[in-house]
Structure 1
């Protein structure tokens, strides 16, 4: 076709581009813009995640919003919520119970974090080549993690008993006087922290053991040839390369520590005179919401605890992100 015939040929209907490359690109662009959720390629992912989103909305997001609203209300004996504004929050500040409960909870959380270095040492020992019965040792360490917290608290409550507890009997052999583990304020928190560390060792060791198996053996061999001791290899090679696992465990330990309740409830007991001085944030929530039947104040404590956990987690991510990434 000559250039004159091409010039006389009619344009496509609608003034659009012809069948050339420019026209195809324009039509494809309009087709993509009309896609979205109507496009099967964009709809299927949403269908797969829809059950999870519904579950989160029903069992997580909606209860949080509902609890936040209840923190500004007062409940009667037979139900019925009355909006009271910031009265519940002002009552928490005036009562003075929150600072002590928060200090107790943070102390327990700090003790849990001390368990991470202990777990690193144990996991490193279990990862030594040629060690026999490694699987048996891992099962022994992991068994407390899958045991019921109530059962753990009952057993350790008998161990820490000041009258017939096996711990005091063992210490008495060395001339140590009887210690009232669960009836002295700060000693009771230390005893509960020891139980928390013991019960979390198994999970920490499993996570750290997986990270240790990902470290190339050639790095330790090269360090050994250069004369590095086992401690030096642990500090200079193992710990930096385990930083992502350590960061993960630290975040979980903080969240788990801030949720302390069952160990205090069973080991300290309701008749113990120090129960008020050793209560955690969750214990305070339980006492206000279910013992005193003040659901508005209980909801305020729950929201305050959620905000504190979120703040601590955000600080951890902010402070440890570079350290974990560099590892």
Structure 2
């Protein structure tokens, strides 16, 4: 049996692709049910990564039906209100990076799995190797499960990772402060029109304000700034002092408390010695800055691990020997690109760097 710790996009994709190939697996998820907590904002799934995984899962058609082509729209401004870039997505544009609500993606994956494939309210505690191979997995409620392969798909603060490496996430020097405006078309129609259908970026001298339309009528609002802010000394309401009034209205309209999320990363190029019966995928293996690659990388990891297992159904060690080096090499390159994007979005010239990235012909 294969035990997957974590029911995020990576863990559920792994279970689904294994199921397609007739291989049993159980996802152990600490949430008490699929409705325990909100799933957050949108994901843009890329044609060459996340969508590849969904094809392997046999779910491409369902994904394209749920995804939002218009979510690829981009608007960029500076803090005075000057429009720098607007890219509106034509109705017939390719679905290269369409957006999908995290909740919709999770439901799509959960609904594709057989009954019992997800074991809810099972928080991983620790695991012990079995004498004959595999692991005995212990959960915080005192229950156990035995498996031939243990897969850590449990995110940035993975509890499975220490079985393979001592590496821990470290602060990347940037913090994201996040909130939301709900039912925005009814409660804040002017702000809804200002943000538009997709992604909205405002570049200031020392921070970036972002907003993103979700499919459920919510706008997710974020502020990206260097260091670790002291919101007791400098409240969120003061961070946009000197900015154009419409941006302060956007911040003031948020109807959830702002949540402070320091951005952490694992070392680029992280590897570990091959160990029998256990592996990692997604953020547990290669935590990167949140620039649109994380879920895509996790889902591709999951699909490739499942396909390696399907190719070696009676030899899990051969499957891991095929999967891990390829995953680690790919993750290294993706992490380098992600770090470069974060660097591009920092400093007083961030707007020019990002504008040059999207339309180099417009920037000297």
TM-score greater than 0.5 by the shorter chain: no
More strand by share: 2
TM-score of the superposition, structure 1-length normalised?
A: 0.26
Name which one, 1 or 2, has greater alpha-carbon Rg: 1
More helix by share: 1
The structure, 1 or 2, with the larger RCO (C-alpha pairs under 8 Å, 6+ apart) is 1
TM-score of the superposition, structure 2-length normalised?
A: 0.24
